Amino acid sequence: MREASLDRLKAFLTLLPSIVLVGVFVYGFIGNTVWISLTDWGGSGSLAVDPQKNYVGLANYAELFTGFLAGGFRQDLVNAVFYSVMLLAGAIGLGMFIAILLDRKPKGEDVLRTIFLYPMSLSFIVSGTIWRWLLAPQGGVNILPTYVGLDPLTFEWTSSTKAVLEFNWQNLFQIMLYVAAFILILVGLWAFRNDPRKALKRWLGPGIVIGAFAWLGGSILPQALFMEETHGFNLATLGIIMATVWQYAGYTMALYLAGFNGISQDLRDAAMLDGASEVAYYRHVAIPMLKPITISAVIILSHISLKMFDIIFAMTGPDNAQTGHPALNMYLTTFRANDFARGAAIAIVLFLVAAMFIVPYLVSQYRQRKRG
């Protein structure tokens, strides 16, 4: 008994320095940032030795989401959503596809694996610079067709001003309800095959009700802004998305390839004898078995996409409104405009969005460990 408590004391003392350091420099600073985001620190005099910081509540957040002048931030936020979705779909889809090809053990698999993984070793600044050249309006990718006698492409990969999937920020609440309804119905349809009644009660029903409410009662919802403000998917972000997918597809490929290699040959043989084609083997056996890897990839890529900064900086510069990102905006607001409180608010918004991805993951991991 005494030995056990001595062990605990030793463990505590060993952990103490890191607990203190993490407490101060991670959680303390997050707390400090939250506090700053609730003040009015900024503007003239913000760099004074003892600047004025008055508590203003959630005014900074309200300004970011509904303020007249913060349209740039809102477009950045929309961009961040598209960056995330496209990076996830692109890097996971492409990575998985390459992994499946390499899993079939073609000749030179080792070399190919290294080649596909190599972009990971470059910094974002380097790959950003390379892709800026590749996607230049009158060079790189655009002149590829001329090698086979066709006209060059004219698409402006990083400087287009066109946007698709546009929506009015005024209808923010309605759009959020549509999205929620869409997700609920999607999950419901997926669950319908296994347990129709539960799917209808838990997912499909609420989804349809919310969707119908958003459609019929959309006009009675409060509007987020007093004027129309359209945002959408800016085509200029396509180039940046391509570059990021290129950089991270190799990484997801490595994750999946390691997973595929870990599946025993017997399981593959069993699937073959059970009548599964190659496609069915991956669809029903291999990919579902690698769910933990997919979840890890989603978590890692989504937090990378929320912290995108340097590749945008390198490809289109910090001031291109079309390709902005909240992380860039945060930097500019804080260190160029010296609006520390607003910058802190943006940081906290990003932090919360990242937490939305990571917390459920951590909770499920914790539960699994407790169960196992």
Q: Which residues are 22's β-sheet partners?
A: none
Nearer to other proteins, 2 or 193 (CB): 193
Pick the piece of the chain touching other proteins (CB under 8 A) from 225-233, 270-278, 326-334, 342-350.
Answer: 270-278
Q: Is 369 in the site for other proteins (CB under 8 A)?
A: no
**166 makes contact with other proteins (CB under 8 A):** no
Q: Which helix (H) or strand (E) holds 234?
A: strand 230-234
Q: Does 48 bind other proteins (CB under 8 A)?
A: no
Q: What's the CA dihedral at 7, 11, 14, 18 to 10 degrees?
A: -170
Q: Least Å distance between CB 200 and other proteins?
A: 18
Nearer to other proteins, 285 or 300 (CB): 285
Q: In the complex with other proteins, which residue's Cβ is closer, 108 or 275?
A: 275
Q: Is 280 in the site for other proteins (CB under 8 A)?
A: yes
Give the footprint of other proteins on residues 320-339 (CB under 8 A). Answer: none
Question: At closest approach, how far in Å is the CB of 365 from other proteins?
Answer: 17
Which of 105, 273, 369, 371 touches other proteins (CB under 8 A)? Answer: 273
Beta strand pairing status for 163-168 and 230-234? antiparallel
What is the C-alpha to C-alpha distance for residues 59 and 326, in angstroms, rounded to an integer? 18
Q: Choose, by CB under 8 A, the member of 141, 200, 276, 298 that binds other proteins.
A: 276
Q: Which stretch binds other proteins (CB under 8 A): 100-108, 226-234, 268-276, 329-337?
A: 268-276
- CA separation for the pair 98, 105 (Å, rounded): 11
Asked whether the beta carbons of 248 and 304 are under 8 A apart, the reply is yes
Q: Which of 89, 270, 355, 356 touches other proteins by CB under 8 A?
A: 270
Q: Which of 32, 123, 277, 368 binds other proteins (CB under 8 A)?
A: 277
Here's the x/- map for other proteins, 247-266, by CB under 8 A: it reads as -----------------x-x
Contact 45, 30 (CB under 8 A): no
As a whole number of Å, the CA-based R_g of the chain is 25
- Asked if 104 contacts 112 with a C-beta cutoff of 8 angstroms, the reply is no
Q: Residue 267 CB, nearest distance to other proteins (Å)?
A: 5
Smallest distance from the beta carbon of 367 to other proteins, in angstroms?
Answer: 16
Nearer to other proteins, 10 or 198 (CB): 198
Q: In whole angstroms, what is the distance from residue 118 CA to residue 126 CA?
A: 13
| 110 vs 266 by CB, closer to other proteins | 266
Dihedral sign, CA of 189, 194, 197, 202?
A: negative
Helix H or strand E encompassing 330: helix 326-331
- Which of 10, 291, 336, 367 is close enough to bind other proteins by CB under 8 A? 291
Residue 52 found at the interface with other proteins (CB under 8 A): no
For residue 328, which amino acid is it? L
Instruction: For the CB of residue 77, give the shortest distance to other proteins in the complex, in Å.
Output: 36
> Residue 162 or 291: which CB sits closer to other proteins?
291
Rule CB under 8 A: choose which of 289, 295, 300, 358 binds other proteins. 289
170 closest CA partner among 223, 134, 112, 248: 223
Instruction: Give the whole-angstrom CA distance, residue 267 versus residue 276.
Output: 11
CB 136 within 8 A of CB 315: no
Residues 181 and 207: beta-carbon distance below 8 Å = yes
- Collapsed DSSP state (helix, strand, coil) of residue 45: coil
77: tokens are 């936020």
Task: From 355, 352, 307, 315, select the one nearest 331 (Cα to Cα).
Answer: 307
Q: How far is the CB of 276 from other proteins (least distance, A)?
A: 5
List residues near other proteins by CB under 8 A.
264, 266-267, 269-277, 280, 284-285, 288-289, 291
